[in-house]
Structure 1
Amino acid sequence: MKKPTFTPYTQYQAYPVDEMERRAAEFYAEMQRRRTIR
């Protein structure tokens, strides 16, 4: 089996912990608001 080749992700931005928590809370609130209608 061939060994896989990986390409490093160079666009990664590290955020401060308080910024990550704020963004996560906003995302969670948005997901709670959204509903799928078919």
Structure 2
Amino acid sequence: MTFSFLLTFHNFVTKGSQTALLRQMAIKSGFVRILFDTVI
């Protein structure tokens, strides 16, 4: 029981960090795109 709980908790944490990383990358790419649009 504890092992499965740790497994699900680990999956939840890794998924959360992955989505946060993807969101951060999306924000950065959007910011870069806006910057390029204003420069060009």
TM-score, normalised via structure 2 length: 0.49
Supply the RMSD in Å over aligned alpha carbons. Answer: 2.2
Please identify which structure carries the higher helix content: 2
Q: Deviations over 1:5-36 (max 9, x none)?
A: xxxxxxxxxx7000000000000000000034
Segments of 5+ residues of structure 2 without an aligned counterpart are 1-5, 34-40
TM-score, normalised via structure 1 length: 0.51
Report runs of 4+ in structure 1 exceeding 4 Å deviation: none
Aligned length: 24
Find the partner of 1:24 among 15, 23, 35: 15
